[in-house]
Chains A and B, each alone.
Chain A
Amino acid sequence: MNRLLLNKIILVLSTLSAVIGISFLFWILATLTYKGVSSLHLSTFTQDLVNGGIRNLLVGQFTMALIASAIAVPIGMFAGIWLREYSNQNKLASIIRNLSDVMMSAPSIVIGVFVYALFVAPFGNYNGFAGVIALTIMMIPIIISTTDNMLALVPKELREAGIALGGSKHKIIMQIIIKAAKVGITTGVLLSFARIIGETAPLLFTSANNQFFTMDLTGQFPSLTVSIYNLATYPDEASRELAWAASFVLTAIVLIINLTGRYMTRNKK
């Protein structure tokens, strides 16, 4: 009798855990929507931070994340290609694979400190370029792991067919293997983009922040996330409202990109 009761209790507790997890998601999303929508105005999107809007912050955050992606995606993909197609799964490949996994979990604030030492301290001022580098370092290992895993799913027969056609190795990779793994890799790119666009810690003392609209990567660069952190600590109501509006917009962007990425793979399979 006791074992049946114990069984019931555990099953109820497990279900309860799932309910708790989901409640937190809805609680957070409901708060954000409620606070965010009531603080949003048209001027929020047309004005810069200095005038109580987030236009320059959105542009700044996207600019840094897009440039970081433009650097990290090719590097990460080539690294994944080497690991899967060229390394013959040797010792070095397994070391690199593991190091890249470790790097993926490295505390983001430490990456900020590292980039500060290399790209901010020597120049004496915060700059958007340093922010880009920090985000790139965060993104590379995610792309490596995605590419590596997706290429592993490509059937051997495709490679053999390519060889039988007399294609050279890099042509087979570019024209057959990458095409076969395209959807999975694109999803990985979108998910990692969603991750880095919401990052704050690596930007705090690399790009820092800027109240004005600028595209100059050699100076302090506007950041949405860093602004939220600053605004939330100001005592006045207007700053807080703007922080909520910015939080709502940020979360919406992150979740939409994330869901788009998931939807793509779902559709294909």
Chain B
Amino acid sequence: MGGKLFKNFSFFSATLSFFILVGIFSILFSYAQDSLHEFGFDFLGSEVWEADEDDEELGVFGGYIPLVGTMLSTVIAMVIATPLAMGIAIFLTEIAHKTLIKPVSIAIELLAAIPSIIYGMWGLFYFAPIMQSAFGGNGVGLLTAGVVLAIMIIPFMAAITRDSMNTVPDVLKESAYAMGATKFEVIKDVIMPYSKGGIIGSIILALGRALGETMAVAFLIGSVMQIPNKVTDATTSIPVLLANNFSEAEGLEMSSMYYLALILFVVSFAIISIAKFYFLGKKVK
């Protein structure tokens, strides 16, 4: 009797994540209806975001600026983070002395544990002024947001890459060394090809994380509705626009906010699924 209840409750709990995901999609989709009807896919290419002061059911809204801001800040972060994360993973698997591996790993994992709002605080008051004196501009903008985003995703990317590099059998590496290969050649010709799936998977997962990151970017991207002409220009991103303006929006503008959230949700869903299914393989043991 108790066993049946136990089993049923486990099953119910397991299916809950499915219902939550379906719930998120349906809620976002249905609340975005007005905006979807009004603007359709033109929403993606329109730069105008103007509410009508007299009638909340009017106004013109387009998601082009936050979309571009999201993509550019993510690209900057990926360009900086990928080589550094690979370097850290290589250091941890192939270079570091045994006594160093543990403390360095813990340090990198702690970097991942720091809440994103702390990155925002530190970035705004300490990092932005440095960026300003180095690159000009306001200090806050695309580049600063991208660099701090990079620092945030490096530990994540490095950890998964390290794990997949650790799965390379020692025999393979040893045979390459026996042939006279240098460390770099072993990394390039044995480790990289062997752990390719895991490495690409980690890069894509980090990409998904950078796209949805809110608080640090909210401090650092400038939150201005404009197309950036230079990398130091302020702009905005989908999560930042939601964080700052969602609660004050009404009517059609609110619906357009849900539209943006829907885009972000669908894109990250797609990215994470690709990373999981094609590169990281199914985790079932």
- CB pair B268–A105 under 8 Å, yes or no, is yes
Q: What residues on A are CB-neighbors of B91 within 8 Å?
A: 14-15, 17-18
Nearest CB in chain A to that of B269: its residue = A102
B150-158, B168-176, B224-232: which lies at the interface? B150-158
Nearest-CB distance from B240 to chain A (Å)?
Answer: 9
B141 within 8 A of A: no
Instruction: Give the CA-CA distance A86 to B7 in the complex, in Å.
Output: 7
Counting chain B CB atoms within 10 Å of each CB, which of A200, A228, A262 scores highest? Answer: A200
Q: Say yes or no: is B79 at the interface (Cβ < 8 Å to chain A).
A: no
> Are B28 and A168 in contact, with the CB atoms below 8 A?
no
Most chain A CB inside 10 Å of its own CB: which residue of B115, B155, B284: B115
Confirm or deny: B243 has a beta carbon within 8 angstroms of a beta carbon on chain A.
Answer: yes
State A4–B184 Cα separation when bound (angstroms): 9
* Chain B residues numbered 106-128 whose CB sits less than 8 Å from any CB in chain A: 106-111, 113-122, 124-126
Nearest chain A CB to B200 CB, angstrom units? 16
Say whether B20 contacts A6, CB under 8 Å: no
A236 to B214, CA, bound (A): 24
Complex Cα spacing A92 to B189, Å: 38
A254:B114 contact, CB within 8 angstroms: yes
* B77 touches A (CB below 8 Å): no
Asked whether any CB of chain B lies closer than 8 Å to the CB of A57, the reply is no
**A 75-111 to B, binary, CB cutoff 8 A, 1 in contact else 0:** 1111101110111010001111111111101111111
B58 located at the interface, meaning its Cβ lies under 8 Å from any Cβ of chain A in the complex: no
- Are B117 and A198 closer than 8 Å at their CB atoms? yes
Interface membership of B272, Cβ < 8 A = yes
* Residues of chain B from 80 to 111 with CB closer than 8 A to chain A in the complex: 83-88, 90-92, 94-96, 104, 106-111
Pick from A18, A141, A144: contact of B87, CB under 8 Å: A18
Known A24-B111, A107-B265, A140-B17: A244·B96 in contact at CB below 8 Å:
no
**Is A32 close to B, CB under 8 A?**
yes
Instruction: Please determine whether B182 and A25 come into contact, CB atoms closer than 8 angstroms.
Output: no
When the two chains form their complex, are residues A101 and B265 in contact, meaning their CB atoms are under 8 A apart? Answer: no
Cα A3 to Cα B268 in complex, Å, equals: 41
Q: Is B218 interfacial (CB-CB < 8 Å)?
A: yes
A132 within 8 A of B: no
* Cβ-defined partner of A107 (8 Å) among B10, B85, B107, B264: B264
User: Nearest Cβ distance between residue A118 and chain B, in whole angstroms?
Assistant: 7
Q: Which residue of A lies closest to B215 (CB)?
A: A200
Chain A residues in 8 Å Cβ range of B94: 14
In the complex, A168 Cα to B6 Cα: how many Å? 11
CB distance from B5 to the nearest CB of A (A): 8
Given the known inter-chain contacts A89-B284, A204-B247, please indicate yes or no for A170 contacting B2, CB distance below 8 A. yes
Closest to B27 in A: A117
Question: In the complex, which residues of chain A have a beta carbon less than 8 angstroms from the beta carbon of B277?
Answer: 98
In angstroms, Cα B87 to Cα A112, docked, is 35
- A41 at interface by CB-CB < 8 Å: no
- Which residues of chain A are near B15, meaning CB under 8 Å? 96
Asked if B118 and A110 make an inter-chain contact with CB atoms under 8 angstroms apart, the answer reads: no
Q: Which residues of A contact B285 (CB under 8 A)?
A: 152
- The residues of B that contact A221 with a CB separation of less than 8 Å are none
Residues of B close to A99: CB separation below 8 A: 17-18, 21
Nearest CB in chain B: distance from A12 CB, A: 10
Of B118, B209, B246, which is in contact with the most chain A CB atoms at under 10 Å from its CB?
Answer: B118
Chain A's nearest CB lies how many Å from the CB of B216?
Answer: 10
Q: Which chain A residue has the least Cβ–Cβ distance from B111? A: A25
Chain A residues near B113 (CB, 8 Å)?
191, 194-195, 254-255, 258
Partner of B272, one of A75, A105, A244: A105
Does B179 interact with chain A (Cβ within 8 Å)? no
Could you tell me if A258 and B154 are in contact, using CB atoms closer than 8 angstroms?
no
By the criterion CB–CB under 8 Å, are A103 and B21 in contact?
yes
Which residues does chain A contribute within 8 Å of B184, judged by CB atoms?
A: 3, 6-7, 10-11
B1-37 interface mask toward A, CB cutoff 8 Å, 1 = contact, 0 = none? 0110011011111111110110110011001000000
Given contacts A101-B276, A118-B27, 6 further A-B contacts (CB under 8 A): A3-B185, A96-B14, A101-B272, A118-B23, A140-B20, A229-B215
Can you list 18 A-B contacts (CB < 8 A)?
A11-B183, A17-B84, A18-B96, A21-B108, A22-B108, A75-B16, A78-B12, A79-B13, A93-B14, A103-B17, A109-B264, A140-B17, A168-B3, A171-B3, A194-B113, A198-B117, A208-B247, A229-B215
User: A residues near B, CB below 8 A?
Assistant: 3-4, 6-7, 10-11, 13-18, 20-22, 24-25, 27-28, 31-32, 35, 74-79, 81-83, 85-87, 89, 93-103, 105-114, 116-118, 137, 140-141, 144, 149, 152, 168-171, 173-174, 191, 194-195, 198-201, 204-205, 208, 225, 228-229, 232, 240, 243-244, 247, 250-251, 254-255, 258-259, 262
Chain A to chain B: the 10 pairs with minimum beta-carbon distance, closest first? A107-B212, A17-B87, A198-B115, A82-B10, A78-B13, A170-B6, A7-B182, A79-B13, A201-B214, A82-B14
